[in-house]
């Protein structure tokens, strides 16, 4: 028995070996298999070589001159020579994003289905032009509307001009620092323009929640300002409800209760008037009997800032040779009320810091495009336009347009009424989005028109670094093409391309010193915040930003994702900051999974990160996450807190002041 | 052919129910080993819970444990062939087999552990020899010593199957087996030399040279020598434990009691050395080596694998010391078995401590202790390796003359 | 013969945490691109911008707590004797995949590495990263890859090399222009040239005219080195310790006017 077993075993084994040898000599399969295995594990992509050269350009986000390293016709690196913003370094990733919109896309599925098919440029432009003609033929020019982003000034000006020529006043801008400041300037200084602070010459700066070095304003300029302040020993006081990097870079950080910045501004104004004799500069405030509500002890109760501290800031502010107070809470995403900006501006007015070196100026847009030719239809349309105050007002209360342009903007994501807008878009007959990458808003459009990225734009320093890829066009050229396809409108658009238009657009700094305080706006604003503080929900929700992520438009770029730290988003979960004391009372700990709940709804699951950088009874949450549709890299990562944040629309700016929301964790 | 399958069928039917269950479980583990092996080799180490902070994990603990415990083979061989402790003769086959398998699976686990298994041969072609051919990298030394010692073990192992009554009848094989056996003392000497080095380097030297890491660094290769002593102590325990388990399963005496007692006595003495050395090691770490990096030893023993692993290791060491060194106790079956299990566990826990605690220590003051939770792939490959080893040992014990004592008894009957 | 020893100093008072250095590094060094890159311990990136606060370790409460960002790349350690450098990670490599150059830069040959990760275990700064997954570059992202840095295979260790490929590029250009002295070749790593506030500066530690002249940095009360508390011991104690063991002796200096930040970066001495 055993013998047979051995024999059989040897037979089988011998057969296997012999078969293997024969098989190997006859067939290459084993070699191929091995070769494949080697390639599988050791395969390296070899980047193509080519001639190295450097091409010059400008980053429009910050105005920095950039030099792009080219290998052959590939752009591989952006050199900024110790300048620039966080956008500059991501330009290559924007340029070569695999999900770039390559050619005009037309919706093929149902409304809002997000399914598109490519179409020819002419077909798309004609179809859109026909829609405009149709509306004008029906005398419904005011049914055209547009939402502008903040990236391309020339395109924005042309969109505004296009709507004016068609006969609609419905042009709105995505909320931004400049947009809010413009509303305040309109109310108090009767001018058209945003605020500009002369940081370079200031000796004492008080910032009311403006996170100056985390994406606020022109990031490249603020970086230079930081060095200037270090060199000049400028005193910088940061008032904020969160220990941000800006607060730590400041000479002094004044922690306040979330949302109470406006009260602190009033408290300082009170001291300036009562103790430092500055009332003469702003008699309407000095005479206002409501001012007595802002005596230091009362403000101290409202803001949590000790009365001595308020006095100290007021004294320093009054005595500093070139002091300036800065309004506009946030980084790249700013949220504030006109009342709050006015309250801060009062400090500048009281100390005579308006329109003087080291003070505050008005940055007025200069537009040399000339007058728009308007026909009867257009005039009638403009007459019939019931313009909303601002974008959120338009989304919530505005008339439903029949043709909506979305010019490199993503209001579905960046507005607190984003979800309402998403529903509304489904009912608008034609939505045209101009975008480089598919985003939350463009996905719901009827047409997506491919825009160029920054490196494909011709600049003042010469030709574009890279020729426009695919069938992309500059947003300004797209608007020009549409305008030229509509008779009666075309004559207002004589330019051949975006570069011609860009030369006619600019902004100048104007020393506007006149300032009239609208006490009603101020009073309403103060009451609004007070009411919000009385909510029964136990926690305050405040936002923060990761400079690289900003408002979330760069979340589709993998190198941005790679730069997000473990405190903010880790293991596919967004993390929110909670003070350890508060966490104890809520019964949550490090990495607990919670949902944030406000009166408007709740977020998806987020994880708790315990940190004393945030005040007790406060939750701090990063902005820019929670895209629903923003390429496969940017989608479905974390929660977009705007969906649950306060949505009270400011009566002057028409934009919701979402900065401070009462919430609970569950 | 039919008779062959029939033969297997008969064999299977002859097993008891428990044996069948055990075989099924072990085979299932081997199956998972194969599945996860394909996954890891083809799709990479992303499927493990190792990461850039916790660069090594379960498999390295396995390597360290296998080599240290398998190191009992070199020490037993050394005692038998060089010191001529003839009473160990009945255990030597089992010892050599365990050593062989431990080393084999150390290699196998290392292949999984390195990111580029197809470049594994770089260790031989581009070794990091420093000046004067002194290996500069502890791993270079480990790779070479392991390989050479593995070859020695192969030579030592060959005579065992050749002694099978079927194979022994073939004259060529008989003579090969015979002469190899006579060469055994040379093999033992070479093996001892090689094993001495890589025991020290893999178990200790590899870690104590990492001068940037205060949790590992020690001067004068102190941990290197400690690991050698640890391997002799724990390895000998392992060489008792495994045949003892076989004995319990087979319900037959696999080797004379005196053989076990002799090895137990040696082990007991080695454990005294090991314990004293380890206490000295902990002491020097606490007062000299850790403070020099401005950290406190007790601070390094935080996290999930800190103080309790060290305390447990030292406590487990005391059991074999107390039992194996007392004649009355070690000659009682239950005490002996318990003591060798504790001895083996002590060495395993020392390896767990080295790897897990060492990697979990935060490198920056603002970081917490790291945690490591092996994935199913890591467990599958680890447990699959152990299951394969058990099956091989089983096969040898059941079908080959692993325990000459058994056959002697058969003859006597 | 190179006399240059490249080094870096990072002024944390000027660092806003904007992340430009990180992205510049990723772009220059062809970091792999993943859809989901939030498994941070397995992330492949050479420059880690670490957020540091003083709330836990220093027990500060809300109101006094501070936040700082610490960019951390390879410290290019040299061991006790910079003339005969012995970084913790180089001697441990079993296959000579890593070496330290005459200029003190620790290099890594990615195609030689077998992925044993022993160097990762040896590195006290977590500067070495392993390609746990196969590096991926989806379609057009390949167009942005830098041909000077080879793309690594899965299962190999990669690291920051102070962008020494840029040095090679500059060296070749200088030689083509007739420069004979190799020590005159200067260059700027990607993170340094990207830093918008100029917080990161780079140069020759041996050169008194360089912004990172080591003798000056060593006497700068604002300067500390990462987890290197031996720098702050009295001289005789320092010498005693140096006789007993090697210390990493990194070539990156961190400058800060904040004591808590210097303390926390320089190590565990107050723990």
**What pLDDT digit, counting tens, does each position of C137-146 carry?**
998 999 999 9
User: What pLDDT is attached to residue A8?
Assistant: 65
Is C188 in a helix, a strand, or coil?
coil
Intra-chain end-to-end CA distance of chain C, in Å: 43
Can you give the pLDDT at residue C89?
A: 95
CATH number of the domain at C6-266, please? 3.30.70.20
Identify the DSSP state of B353: I
Instruction: Please answer yes or no on whether A1 and B1 come within 8 Å at the CB atom.
Output: no
C-chain residues near B44 (CB < 8 A): 131-134, 154-155
Mutant choice from C84, C97, C122, C232 vs B, greatest count of B C-beta within 10 A: C122
The pLDDT of residue C271: 44
Beta carbons of A213 and C16 less than 8 Å apart: yes
| CA–CA min distance B402, chain A (Å) | 19
Q: What is the pLDDT of residue B413?
A: 44
Looking at residue A6, what is its pLDDT?
55
Residue given tokens 């009295």 in the structure block: C234
| DSSP, residue by residue, B32-92 | HHHHHHHHHHHH-GGGSS--SSS---HHHHHHHHHHHHHTHHHHHHIIIIIS--GGGGGGH
Residue B412, Cβ density class (10 Å: 0-12 exposed, 13-18 middle, ≥19 buried): exposed
Would you place residue A2 in the very low, low, confident or very high pLDDT band (cuts 50, 70, 90)? very low
What is the pLDDT at residue C57? 66
- The DSSP symbol for C199 reads -
- Number of Cβ pairs < 8 A linking chain A and chain B: 26
Per-residue pLDDT at A4 exceeds 60: no
Nearest in space to A356 (alpha carbons), one of A513, A514, A213 = A513
Cα–Cα distance list, A241 to A256, B90, C73, C108, C163 (Å): 5, 78, 32, 46, 40
Q: Would you call A501 helix, strand, or coil by DSSP?
A: helix
pLDDT digits (tens, 9 = 90+) for C65-87: 999 999 999 999 999 999 999 99
Domain B2-412 matching CATH 1.20.1630.10: the answer reads: yes
Q: Which of A376, A447, A326, A403 is nearest to A139 (CA)?
A: A376
Q: Where are the domains of chain C?
A: 6-266
Distance between first and last Cα of chain A: 73
Say whether B52 and C267 touch across the interface (CB within 8 A): no
Q: Scan residues 184-243 of C and list those with Cβ closer than 8 Å to A.
A: 190, 193-198
Interface check for C267 against chain B (CB to CB < 8 A): the answer is yes
Count, residues in chain C:
271
pLDDT category at C56 given cuts 50, 70, 90 is confident
The tokens 């009281």 sit on which residue? A350
pLDDT at A575: 95
Give the nearest partner residue to B118 out of A4, A5, A38, using CB atoms. Answer: A38
Q: Is C260 on the interface with A (CB under 8 A)?
A: no
Region A561-576 average pLDDT? 93
Quick check: B212 and C122 CB within 8 A?
Answer: yes
Strand order in the sheet with A194-197: A194-197, A360-367, A505-510
Stretch A189-195: mean pLDDT: 90
Q: Do residues B46 and C129 touch, judged by C-beta distance below 8 A?
A: no
The arithmetic mean of pLDDT across residues A557-571, rounded, is 94
Q: Do the Cβ atoms of C19 and A86 come within 8 Å?
A: yes
Query: Are the CB atoms for A434 and A174 separated by under 8 Å?
Result: no
Q: How many residues appear in chain B?
A: 413
Cβ contacts of residue B372 below 8 Å, gap of 6+? B49, B50, B54, B57, B356, B359, B360
User: C53 CA to chain B: closest CA distance, Å?
Assistant: 8
User: Which residue among C42, C157, C268 sits closest to B294, beta carbon to beta carbon?
Assistant: C268
Residues of C in contact with B147 (CB under 8 A): none
Residue C155 backbone class (left: φ over 0; alpha: ψ -120 to 50; beta: rest) = left
Beta partners for residue A622, in sequence order: A544
* Cα–Cα distance for residue pair B29/B379, rounded to 1 Å: 10
DSSP A181-218: HHHHHHHHH--SSEEEE-GGG-SEEEEESB-TTTT-SS
- How do residues A309-319 score in pLDDT, each as one tens digit? 999 999 999 99
Indicate whether B250 pLDDT > 90: no
Cβ–Cβ gap B363/C93 under 8 Å: no
Q: What distance in Å separates the CA atoms of residue B345 and residue B313, rounded to the nearest whole number?
A: 8
Mutate to test the interface with C, among B115, B120, B146, B300 (most CBs of C within 10 A): B115
Q: Kindly write down the DSSP assignment for every residue of A280-296, as one continuous string.
A: GG-HHHHH-GGGGGG-H
Q: Please, which pLDDT band fits residue C243 given cuts at 50, 70 and 90? A: very high
Residue C50, min C-alpha distance to chain B (Å) = 10
CA dihedral A66, A72, A73, A79 (to 10 degrees): -10
- Please list the residues that pair with C8 across neighbouring strands: C202, C252
Q: Which residue carries 């003339």 as its tokens? A: C83
pLDDT digits (tens, 9 = 90+) for A393-407: 999 999 899 999 999
Longest dimension (CA), chain B: 73
List pLDDT tens digits, range B348-380: 999 999 999 999 999 999 999 999 999 999 999
- DSSP 8-class letter at C252: E
Per-residue pLDDT at A225 = 96
DSSP annotation of A39: H
Confidence band for C19, pLDDT divided at 50, 70 and 90 = very high
Test C31 with A50 for CB contact under 8 angstroms. Answer: no
Helix (H, G, I), strand (E, B) or coil at A35: helix
Q: How far is CA A372 from CA A160, A287, B128, in A?
A: 10, 45, 78
> What DSSP character marks residue A398?
S
Kindly compute the dihedral angle of the four CA atoms of residues A638, A642, A645, A649, in this order, to the nearest 10 degrees: 180
- For residue B130, which residues of chain C lie inside 8 Å, CB to CB? 91
Torsion of CA A71, A76, A82, A84, to 10 degrees: 130
Mean pLDDT of B162-180: 79
Q: What's the mean pLDDT when you consider all of chain C?
A: 93
Size of chain A, expressed as the number of residues it contains: 666
Query: Best-predicted range by mean pLDDT among A29-33, A143-147, B70-74?
Result: A143-147
Q: What is the mean pLDDT of chain B?
A: 89
Q: What is the pLDDT of residues A245-301, one digit of tens each?
A: 999 999 999 999 999 999 999 999 999 999 999 999 999 999 999 999 999 999 999
Instruction: Specify whether the CB–CB gap between A545 and A332 falls below 8 A.
Output: yes
Q: Residue B153 pLDDT > 90, yes or no? A: no
Q: What percent of chain B has a predicted confidence (pLDDT) above 90?
A: 58
Could you say which residues from 37 to 76 on chain C have a Cβ atom under 8 Å away from some Cβ of chain B? Answer: 39, 41-43, 50, 52-53, 56-57
Q: Let me know if A386 is exposed, middle or buried by CB neighbors in 10 A (0-12, 13-18, 19+).
A: exposed
Cα–Cα separations (whole angstroms), residue A374 to A419, A491, C180: 35, 10, 71
Radius of gyration, alpha carbons of chain B = 22
Percentage of residues of chain A with pLDDT beyond 90: 81
Q: Mean pLDDT throughout A488-517?
A: 89
CA distance A655 to C262: 43
Domain boundaries, chain B: 2-412
B42 touching A, CB under 8 A? yes
- Residue with more model confidence, A138 or B254: A138
What string of DSSP letters covers A135-191? HHHTT-GGGEEEEE-SS-HHHHHHHHHHHHHHT---EEE---HHHHHHHHHHHHH--
Touching C: which chains, 3+ CB pairs < 8 A?
A: A, B
Q: How far apart are CA A396 and CA A532, in angstroms?
A: 20
User: Token match 């009062």: residue?
Assistant: A346
Q: What is the pLDDT of residues A451-488, one digit of tens each?
A: 999 999 887 777 889 999 999 999 999 999 999 999 88
- Residue C92: which of B48, B139, B294 has the nearest Cβ? B139
Q: Which pLDDT tens digit goes with each residue over B79-95?
A: 888 888 888 888 988 99
Q: What percent of chain C has pLDDT over 70?
A: 98
Distance CA B295, CA A37 (A): 47
Angle B188-B190-B194 from CA coordinates, rounded to 5°: 115
- Picking from A513, A526, A514, A528, the residue whose alpha carbon sits closest to that of residue A270 is A526
A360 pairs with which residues across the strands?
A197, A354
Look-up: residue for tokens 């490591």?
B372
pLDDT tens for B99-147 read 989 999 999 999 999 999 988 899 999 999 877 777 889 999 888 888 9
Residue B190: what pLDDT? 84
- Predicted confidence band at B409 (pLDDT cuts at 50, 70, 90)? low
Q: Would you state the pLDDT for residue A33?
A: 74
pLDDT at A450: 97
Q: Look at residue A10 in the predicted model and tell me its pLDDT.
A: 63
* Tokens 């060489």, located at residue: B239
Give yes or no for residue B182 having a pLDDT over 80.
no
How confident is the model at residue C253, as a pLDDT?
97
Q: Which long-range contacts (CB under 8 A, 24 or more apart) does C186-192 make?
A: C187/C163, C189/C8, C189/C162, C189/C163, C190/A77, C190/C21, C190/C24, C190/C25, C190/C27, C190/C28, C190/C29, C190/C163, C190/C166, C191/C21, C191/C22, C191/C24, C191/C25, C191/C47, C191/C71, C191/C73, C191/C163, C192/C8, C192/C21
Unique residue bearing structure tokens 């006497």: C219
Give the span between the Cα atoms of A345 and A359, in whole angstroms.
11
Please check whether residue B376 is in contact with residue B77, taking contact to mean a CB–CB distance below 8 angstroms: no
CA distance A296 to chain C (A): 19
Record: contact C27-A560, CB cut-off 8 A: no
Residue A473: name the closest of A102, A220, A200, A9 by CA. A102
Q: With contact defined as beta carbons under 8 Å apart, do C212 and C162 qualify?
A: no
Taking the CA atoms of residue A251, residue A254, residue A259 and residue A263 in that order, the dihedral angle to the nearest 10 degrees is: -110
d(CA C52, CA C252): 18
pTM: 0.92
pLDDT over 80 (residue A13): no
């Amino acid at each position: 028995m055993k013998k047979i077993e051995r024999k059989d075993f040897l037979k089988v084994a011998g057969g296997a070996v012999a078969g293997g040898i024969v098989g190997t000599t006859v067939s290459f399969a084993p070699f191929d298999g091995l070769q494949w295995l080697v390639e599988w594990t050791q395969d390296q992509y070899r980047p193509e070589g080519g001639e190295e050269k450097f091409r010059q350009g400008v980053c429009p986000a910050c105005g920095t001159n950039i030099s792009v390293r080219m290998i052959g016709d590939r752009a591989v690196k952006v050199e900024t020579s110790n300048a620039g913003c966080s956008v500059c370094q991501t330009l290559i990733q924007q340029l070569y994003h695999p999900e770039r919109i390559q050619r005009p896309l037309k919706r093929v599925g149902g409304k809002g289905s997000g399914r598109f098919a490519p179409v020819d440029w002419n077909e798309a432009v004609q179809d859109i032009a026909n829609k405009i003609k149709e509306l004008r033929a029906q005398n419904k020019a005011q049914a055209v509307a547009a939402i502008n982003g903040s990236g391309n000034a020339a395109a924005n000006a042309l969109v505004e001009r296009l709507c004016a020529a068609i006969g609609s006043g419905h042009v709105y801008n995505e909320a931004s620092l400049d947009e809010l400041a413009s509303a305040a300037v309109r109310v108090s200084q009767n001018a058209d323009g945003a605020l500009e602070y002369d940081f370079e010459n200031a000796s004492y700066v008080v910032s009311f929640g403006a996170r100056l070095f985390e994406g606020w304003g022109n990031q490249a300029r603020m970086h230079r300002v930081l060095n200037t302040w270090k060199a000049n020993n400028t005193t910088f006081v940061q008032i904020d409800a969160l220990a941000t990097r800006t607060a730590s870079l400041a000479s002094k950080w004044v922690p306040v209760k979330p949302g109470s910045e406006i009260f602190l501004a009033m408290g300082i104004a009170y001291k300036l008037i009562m103790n430092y004799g500055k009332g003469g500069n702003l008699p309407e405030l000095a005479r206002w009997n409501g001012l007595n509500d802002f005596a230091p002890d009362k403000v101290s109760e409202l803001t949590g800032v000790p009365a001595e501290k308020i006095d100290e800031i007021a004294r320093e502010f009054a005595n500093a040779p070139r002091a300036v107070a800065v309004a506009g809470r946030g980084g790249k995403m700013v949220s504030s009320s006109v009342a709050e900006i006015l309250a801060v501006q009062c400090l500048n007015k009281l100390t005579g810091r308006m329109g003087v070196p080291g003070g505050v100026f008005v940055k007025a847009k200069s537009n040399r495009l000339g007058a728009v030719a308007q026909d009867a239809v257009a005039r009638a349309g403009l007459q019939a336009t019931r313009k909303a105050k601002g974008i959120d007002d338009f989304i919530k209360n505005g008339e439903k347009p029949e043709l909506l342009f979305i010019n490199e903007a993503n209001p579905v994501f960046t507005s607190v009424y984003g979800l309402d807008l998403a529903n509304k878009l489904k009912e608008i007959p034609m939505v045209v989005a101009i975008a480089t990458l598919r985003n939350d808003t463009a996905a719901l459009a009827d047409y997506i028109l491919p825009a160029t990225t920054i490196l494909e734009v011709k600049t003042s320093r010469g030709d574009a670094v890279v020729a426009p890829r695919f069938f992309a066009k500059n947003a300004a050229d797209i608007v020009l093409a549409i305008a030229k396809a509509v008779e009666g409108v075309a004559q207002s658009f004589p330019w051949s391309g975006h570069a011609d238009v860009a030369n006619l657009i600019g902004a100048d700094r104007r020393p506007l010193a006149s300032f009239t305080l609208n006490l009603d706006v101020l009073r309403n604003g103060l009451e609004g915040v007070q009411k919000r503080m009385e909510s029964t929900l136990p926690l305050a929700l405040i936002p923060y930003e990761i400079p690289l992520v900003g408002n979330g438009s760069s979340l589709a770029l993998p190198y941005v994702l790679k730069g997000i730290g473990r405190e903010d988003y880790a293991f596919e979960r967004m993390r929110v900051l909670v003070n350890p004391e508060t966490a104890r009372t809520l019964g949550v700990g490090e990495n607990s999974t919670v949902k944030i709940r406000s009166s408007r709804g709740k977020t998806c699951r987020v994880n708790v990160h315990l940190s004393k950088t945030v005040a007790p009874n406060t939750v701090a949450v990063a902005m820019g996450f929670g895209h629903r549709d923003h390429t496969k890299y940017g989608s479905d990562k974390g929660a977009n807190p705007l969906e649950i944040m306060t949505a009270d629309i400011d009566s002057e700016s028409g934009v919701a002041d979402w900065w401070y929301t009462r919430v609970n964790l569950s | 052919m039919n008779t062959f399958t029939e033969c297997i069928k008969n064999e299977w039917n002859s097993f008891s129910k428990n044996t069948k269950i055990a075989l099924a479980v072990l085979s299932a583990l081997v199956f998972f080993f194969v599945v996860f092996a394909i996954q890891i080799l083809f799709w990479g180490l992303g499927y493990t819970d190792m990461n850039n902070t916790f660069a090594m994990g379960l498999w390295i603990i396995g390597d360290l444990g296998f080599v240290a415990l398998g190191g009992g083979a070199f020490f037993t061989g050394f005692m038998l062939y060089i010191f001529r402790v003839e009473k160990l003769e009945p255990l030597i086959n089992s010892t050599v087999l365990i050593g062989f398998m431990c080393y084999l699976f150390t290699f196998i686990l290392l292949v999984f552990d390195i990111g580029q298994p197809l470049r594994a041969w770089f260790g031989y072609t581009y070794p990091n020899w420093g000046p004067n051919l002194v290996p500069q990298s502890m791993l270079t030394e480990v790779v070479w010593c392991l390989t050479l010692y593995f070859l020695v073990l192969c030579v030592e192992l060959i005579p065992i199957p050749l002694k099978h009554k079927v194979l022994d009848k073939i004259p060529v094989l008989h003579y090969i087996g015979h002469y190899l056996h006579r060469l055994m003392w040379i093999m033992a000497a070479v093996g001892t030399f090689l094993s001495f080095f890589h025991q020290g380097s893999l178990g200790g030297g590899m870690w104590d040279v990492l001068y940037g890491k205060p949790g590992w660094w020690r001067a004068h290769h102190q941990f290197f020598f400690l690991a050698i002593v640890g391997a002799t102590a724990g390895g000998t325990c392992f060489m008792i434990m495994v045949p003892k388990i076989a004995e319990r399963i087979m319900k037959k005496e696999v080797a004379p009691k005196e053989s076990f007692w002799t090895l137990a006595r040696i082990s007991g003495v080695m454990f005294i050395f090991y314990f004293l050395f380890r206490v000295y090691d902990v002491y020097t770490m606490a007062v000299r080596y850790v403070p020099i990096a401005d950290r406190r030893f007790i601070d390094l023993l935080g996290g999930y694998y800190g103080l309790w692993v060290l305390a447990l290791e030292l406590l487990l060491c005391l059991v074999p010391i107390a039992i194996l060194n007392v004649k009355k106790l070690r000659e009682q079956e239950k005490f002996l078995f318990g003591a060798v299990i504790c001895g083996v566990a002590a060495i395993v826990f020392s390896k767990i401590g080295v790897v897990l605690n060492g990697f979990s220590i935060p490198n920056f003051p603002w970081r917490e202790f790291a945690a490591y939770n092996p994935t199913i792939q890591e467990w599958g490959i680890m447990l699959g390796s152990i299951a394969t080893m058990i099956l091989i040992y089983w096969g040898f014990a059941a079908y080959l003359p692993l325990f000459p004592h058994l056959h002697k008894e058969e003859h006597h009957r | 013969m190179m006399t240059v020893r490249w080094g870096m100093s990072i002024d944390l008072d000027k660092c806003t945490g904007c992340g430009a250095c990180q992205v510049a590094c990723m772009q220059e060094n062809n970091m792999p691109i993943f859809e989901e890159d939030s498994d941070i311990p397995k992330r492949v990136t050479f420059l880690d911008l670490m957020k540091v606060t003083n709330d836990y370790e220093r027990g500060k409460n809300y109101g006094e707590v501070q936040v700082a960002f610490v960019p951390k790349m390879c410290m290019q350690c040299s061991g006790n004797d910079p003339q005969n450098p012995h970084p913790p990670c180089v001697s441990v490599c079993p296959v000579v995949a890593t070496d330290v150059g005459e200029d003190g830069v620790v290099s890594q040959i990615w195609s030689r590495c077998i992925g044993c990760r022993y160097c990762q275990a040896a590195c006290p700064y977590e500067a070495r990263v392993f390609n746990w997954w196969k590096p991926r570059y989806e379609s057009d992202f390949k167009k942005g890859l830098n041909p000077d840095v080879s793309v690594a295979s899965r299962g190999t260790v990669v690291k920051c090399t102070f962008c020494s490929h840029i040095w090679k590029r500059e060296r070749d250009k200088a030689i083509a222009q007739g420069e004979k002295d190799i020590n005159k070749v200067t260059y700027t790593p990607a993170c340094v040239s990207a830093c918008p506030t100029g917080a990161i500066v780079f140069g020759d530690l041996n050169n008194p005219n360089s912004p990172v002249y080591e003798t000056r940095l060593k006497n700068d009360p604002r300067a500390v080195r990462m987890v290197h508390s031996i720098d702050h011991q009295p001289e005789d104690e320092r010498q005693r310790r140096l006789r007993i063991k090697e210390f990493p002796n990194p070539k990156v200096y961190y400058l800060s006017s904040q004591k808590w930040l210097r303390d926390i970066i320089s190590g565990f001495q107050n723990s």
